[in-house]
Amino acid sequence: MYTAKQLESQLRKMKIPRDGTLLIHSSFRSMGEISGGAETVIDVLCRYMSDGLLLMPTHSWDTVNAGNAFFDPKTTPCCTGILGQLLLKREGALRSVHPTHSLAVFGKDAAQFIEGEHTVSSPCARNGCMGKLLDRKGKILFIGCDLSKNTFLHGVEEWCGIENRLGDEYACFLTLHDGSTYIGAMQPHCAPVSDVSVNYAKMTEPFLRLGAAVEGQLGDAHCYLCDCARMARITTELLIINPDLFLDDRPVPEHILTDVGKGYYVL
């Protein structure tokens, strides 16, 4: 059984900037037995990031769509695990107003970080939370899950203008934090394959090799700590070479990977 002290030690070993911006994707079950359960994990993460900003997905794409286009940050259920739900219960935590890809945010500049999120019209808009994560040179920690859960790469594809990644726009009705209603628009994710994100896992080795990711451990869970700026640059270069990079799970060719980051491809 892992204690809070042991979890804190594992976080320190990964050298996560305590005053930075950290997004976490997680599988709580993969962490093994934790003294105090999931609440202890939230305690540890909030304490560790007390001088920074902690983000967790509270997505609702499984229920909010063109046929049910209503979102209320207080009542709309999320489909992305227990840790995000528990973070929302902490005093001072906020949920961004995004119909399908909201985040629980806690810490420094939380309100500023999610400001205007209700006005974006795509899941990972460049001027939305995912883009701000890049601007802040943030990190993403994957706890017990692989890089197929890397929502940030949806954003990179979107920002690179890759075709057939956004579906038909629909009107959505968003309840703001002051209780008022905002009528917005949303284009959902789409792709020519059933689930393009499954193929994001092919970037694991390139990211590790090129310094965009390091490995660690939290509880029993294997972790990847990824640097957003480096992930964005590497992925953008590869998408310039091959816009269909994520339509299959074939590894990036060695001769291409060798050239990435050397300035051969104009961004």
Domain count, the chain: 1
Assigned domain for 267 exists: no
String of DSSP letters for 41-106: HHHHHHHHTTTSEEEEE---TTT-BTTB-EE-TTT---SS-HHHHHHHTSTT-EE---SSS-EEEE
Assigned domain for 35 exists: yes
The predicted structure's pLDDT at residue 255: 87
Assigned domain for 264 exists: no
Question: Could you give the angle at which helices 228-241 and 151-159 cross, rounded to 10 degrees?
Answer: 50
Average pLDDT, the chain: 96
Assigned domain for 152 exists: yes
Assigned domain for 231 exists: yes
pLDDT tens per residue across span 76-117 = 999 999 999 999 999 999 999 999 999 999 999 999 999 999
| Structural domain harbouring 174 | 4-259
The predicted structure's pLDDT at residue 42: 98
pLDDT tens per residue across span 236-251 = 999 999 999 999 999 9
Assigned domain for 266 exists: no
Assigned domain for 265 exists: no
The predicted structure's pLDDT at residue 262: 65
Long-range contacts, 43-49 (Cβ 8 Å, 24+): 43/4, 44/4, 44/7, 44/8, 44/11, 45/11, 45/87, 46/87, 46/90, 46/106, 46/107, 47/8, 48/8, 48/11, 48/16, 48/18, 49/18, 49/22, 49/106, 49/107
pLDDT by position in tens, the chain (length 267): 999 999 999 999 999 999 999 999 999 999 999 999 999 999 999 999 999 999 999 999 999 999 999 999 999 999 999 999 999 999 999 999 999 999 999 999 999 999 999 999 999 999 999 999 999 999 999 999 999 999 999 999 999 999 999 999 999 999 999 999 999 999 999 999 999 999 999 999 999 999 999 999 999 999 999 999 999 999 999 999 999 999 999 999 998 888 886 655 544
Overall pTM surpassing 0.85 (yes/no) = yes
Assigned domain for 226 exists: yes
